[in-house]
Amino acid sequence: MGMMNSRRLLVIGVLLLWVAGDDAHAAKIKVDGKDYENAELFEIGVKGPFYKVAEGEVVVVPWAEVDKFEAAAIRQRFAGALVNLQRKAYWVKGTVFEKKEEGVVIHTGSSHDDEGSSDKGGTRKEKQEKAEQEKLIRQMANEGEAVFKNGAEVVSGLVILKDLPRTQYDVGSDVEFLVYRVGQVAYEMGLGMKKDLMLCNIAKPEWVGVRKWKNSAGKDMEAELIAVKGGKCLFQRNGKNFVYDLDQLSESDQKLVADFQKNSRELPLKKDQ
C-alpha cells in the first residue's frame, strides 16, 4: 500500500511539474499603462525584452521597468543572448554579393527575409514555433523596430565581412554569422556614387570572453571583463566577480579595456535582493 501511495505521489508530482512548466515562461507585464496577461518572453534587444501577447502582438518592456523576477528569468534563459547584446554583436544572414579588397560584401536582403525558412528541418512543433517567431520578427521590422536574433542586431542591406575566407565562399553562396563591427568602408555603388557600409569581423574581439589579462608587473590572470567604471574593472572568474584597478593593468590591456568601453553596452538589469 505504501509503495502504491509513493507511486501516486510521484505521478502527481510529475503532473504538477508538467502543468507548471507549460506556463513557466508566461508573465504579467505592463506597457504604457496597459496590462498584459500570459505574455511570453521570446527575444531581447537594446530597448528591452520582447514579449508576445494576445493575438500575436509584440510589445517591448523598457529595461528600466523589468522587475527583478523577470530579470532573473532573462539571465537564466537568455544568458548567451545577453552577452551578444552587451557586446554589440550583429547577425548577418544573406548571400555573397561581391569580393573586394576590404573584404567580402554580403547582401542580407531585408532584415525580415526569412519567409519559408521554417520549412527546413525540425519537428512539426518546432517548425510551427519557428514560423510564429518569424512572423513576430517581420511584424517588428514592419513597425520600424530594430530586429534582434539571440540578442544580436540583425543587419539589413549590404555589409562587408573583413575576415570571411574568400576561397571558401563563391558569389551567391549562403552565409550566416554572428559578427562584430570594426569600422566602416566607403563602398563604390557605381556611377560615381559611394555608400558607407559596416565593416565586421566574424572573429570575436580580443576583449570578449575569458582571456589572460596581464598586469603592470607582468603577471597573468585569466578572467572575463564584465564592466568598467570610475577607473575600476569588474572581472569574472569561475562564476565569481572581483574588482581590479584599471591602472594596474599593462598598457596594452588598458587599450583593450578602452575598446571594451567603446564597443559594449551596459543594461540596467535589476539584481536579486
Total tally of structural domains belonging to the chain: 3
In a domain, 69, yes or no: yes
What are residue 118's phi and psi, to 5 degrees?
-70, -10
Looking at the fold, whether 73 and 92 belong to one and the same domain comes out as no
Low-confidence ranges of the chain (pLDDT < 50): 1-23, 111-119, 273
Q: d(Cα 92, Cα 163) in Å, to the nearest integer?
A: 14
Looking at the fold, whether 50 and 131 belong to one and the same domain comes out as no
In a domain, 167, yes or no: yes
Provide the pLDDT for residue 27. 79
In a domain, 46, yes or no: yes
Provide the pLDDT for residue 124. 74
Looking at the fold, whether 94 and 191 belong to one and the same domain comes out as yes
Distances (CA, A) of 37 to 23, 190, 219, 270: 12, 52, 54, 22
Query: Residue 122: which domain range?
Result: 88-201
In a domain, 82, yes or no: no
Looking at the fold, whether 97 and 195 belong to one and the same domain comes out as yes
pLDDT tens per residue across span 176-220: 999 999 999 999 887 888 899 999 999 999 999 899 999 988 999
Provide the pLDDT for residue 201. 97
Provide the pLDDT for residue 28. 83
In a domain, 7, yes or no: no
Query: Of 106, 101, 103, 92, which Cα lies nearest the Cα of 173?
Result: 106
Looking at the fold, whether 177 and 109 belong to one and the same domain comes out as yes
In a domain, 173, yes or no: yes
In a domain, 5, yes or no: no
In a domain, 25, yes or no: no
Provide the pLDDT for residue 20. 35
